[in-house]
Structures are given as structure tokens and as C-alpha cells.
Amino acid sequence: MPVTSTQHDLDALTLTITADFAAPPERVWAIYEDPRQLERVWGPPGYPATFVDHALEPGSRSTYYMTSPEGQRFYAYWDVTSVAGPDGFTFDDGFALDETFAPNTSMPQSHADYAFVATDDGTHATFVTSYASADDLQQVLDMGVVEGSTAAINQIDDLLAADAA
């Protein structure tokens, strides 16, 4: 597994995941730059993503939808806020109302900050995803877009034992 660490910040409602890839930052960056590659990795199993518009440029809005196993489409968008290719980029990820991709303002946005650093073996990537409130995170997960994983009761112990940031 290329994941090297995961950190849950209960106060900041932030998930930070680091991973090492056996490819240079330019190659990892290319996955995010190319909508055809991006849609192969973005949606969870059973919910493939289709990017309609996509450009990694500050101020640009990407539009995409995920299709559920039942054929239901979840429309969403990225508002790209800063770009420093191939070192990383930041964006806001939100849900859209329908195929017009008008933002659904009753649904929360998450903020994403991705960074790619060259190492001797390839790339050290840091993916930070944060939510404004616990309720926002709950709402996004309730959309059912995330694989329905039922955490075992012993995972609670891990959570409670984790040092607060």
C-alpha cells in the first residue's frame, strides 16, 4: 500500500493522508490534469466519475458527476482556487443541483489541498481534506457517494485513543 500515514484532526475536521508513488511529481500531476485519468481514480468502486469540464487553472470550475450502481447521477463541481503545477493545487469541492451544475448551496463544500514533492523513489503526496463542521462532513457522507463502510466497534477505541491535535 502506498499510503504512509493518515491523520484525523477532530478539532479542525480535517483528514490528512500521505502516500508515496513510484513516479515523479510531473506524472502524478498529470493524473489530475487529464480528466480521462482523473475520472479513473476519483469515484469509489461502483460510482464512476465523469468529468465534463476540467482545467487546472486558478478560478476555473470543473464539473463532474458520479453514477451510482442504480444509474442515479450525483452532480458536483470543483472550484480551483490555486495552482502550482506540478507541486500541487487547492480547490473547493461541492455538490451541484442537477445537470446544469449550479452549486447546491444547501450542501456543504469541502476544501482540498494537495501537494506533491519529489523524492529519490518518486513522489511524496499529501492530501488534505477539510470540512467547516462535523455536520457538513456527516451530510456529505449521507449522500451515499462514499462506499458504505460499517466501522467495527473496535475502531471506536482507536479513534478515542488517538491523541487530540
| Residue in 8, 61, 111, 124 binding other proteins, rule: CB under 8 A | 8
DSSP-derived pairing of the beta strands 49-53 and 110-119: unpaired
Which is nearer to other proteins, 70 or 163 (by Cβ)?
Answer: 163
**Nearer Cβ to other proteins (30/81):** 30
User: Amino acid identity, residue 67?
Assistant: T
Q: Is 70 in the site for other proteins (CB under 8 A)?
A: no
Residue 116 is which amino acid? Answer: F
Contact between 105 and other proteins by CB under 8 A: the answer reads no
CA distance 123 to 28: 8
If binding is defined by CB under 8 A, does position 164 make contact with other proteins? Answer: yes
For the CA atoms of 17, 28, 47, 96, the dihedral, rounded to the nearest 10 degrees, stands at 80
Find, among 26, 19, 74, 20, the residue nearest to 46 by Cα.
74
* Positions that interact with other proteins (CB under 8 A): 1-3, 6, 8, 10-11, 13, 15, 17, 19, 21-24, 27-28, 31, 37, 40-42, 44-45, 121-122, 125, 127, 129, 133-135, 137-138, 141, 146-151, 153, 155-157, 159-161, 163-164
